[in-house]
Structure 1
Amino acid sequence: MTVHRTRLHRSPRRVVAAAPTQDAANHPGRAARLVARLSSPRGDVPGWVLITLMTAGIVVALWAVASDQIVQIFENAMAPFLGGSL
């Protein structure tokens, strides 16, 4: 029986040095490759992880500094809907 292992790493990328005088008009395939790469479902996982961690850090920092004010704002905003019982 043959066991197929999934690849958990990205394949090595080719590094192609572009001359500074080249542009998209001279290389019509470059735009197609760019569109295909941007529409890829793989995405940029490390970038999204970094954004998520930074957002969580900002929330924690704001909560640590202004927790009493945040709770008060929430209670004031909800009071009209709950009949002022908060």
Structure 2
Amino acid sequence: MTTLHRSVVRAQLAAARAIRGGSRRNERGDVPGWVLITLMTAGLVAALWAVAEDQLKALFTDALNSARR
């Protein structure tokens, strides 16, 4: 391998590292946190809906009826 070839390969590797960047490694933990928050929120909504379905329907119907008047 010639000196010029080594220099080109080193430059390409440095460019590839810069493109990939370190920010990708720093953000790896964010996705599972957002997934957990989303799942917990969906679970809370489902639990509230199961417990208070009739009251929520009545509240919504009353709100619509009072808006029509």
TM normalised by structure 2 equals: 0.55
Q: Please give the secondary structure, in 2, of the residue aligned with 1:81.
A: helix
Q: Which has the higher contact order (CA 8 A, sep 6+)?
A: 2
Q: Deviations 1:46-73 (Å, cap 9, x if unpaired)?
A: 1000000000000000111110001001
Q: Structure 2 unaligned segments of length 5 or more: list them.
A: 1-23
User: How far is 1:78 from its partner?
Assistant: 1.2
Q: 1:47 aligns with which of 22, 33, 38?
A: 33
* Higher CA-based Rg: 2
Query: Matches of 1:48 and 1:64 in 2, distance apart?
Result: 24
Give percent identity, aligned residues only.
61
Q: Please give the secondary structure, in 1, of the residue aligned with 2:67.
A: coil
Aligned pairs for 1:66-81 within 5 A: 66-81=52-67
What residue is the counterpart of 2:50 in the other structure?
64
Q: Deviations 1:3-36 (Å, cap 9, x if unpaired)?
A: xxxxxxx65xxxxxxxxxxxxxxxxxxxxxxxxx
Letter in 2 for 1:67: E
Q: Select the structure that is richer in helix.
A: 2
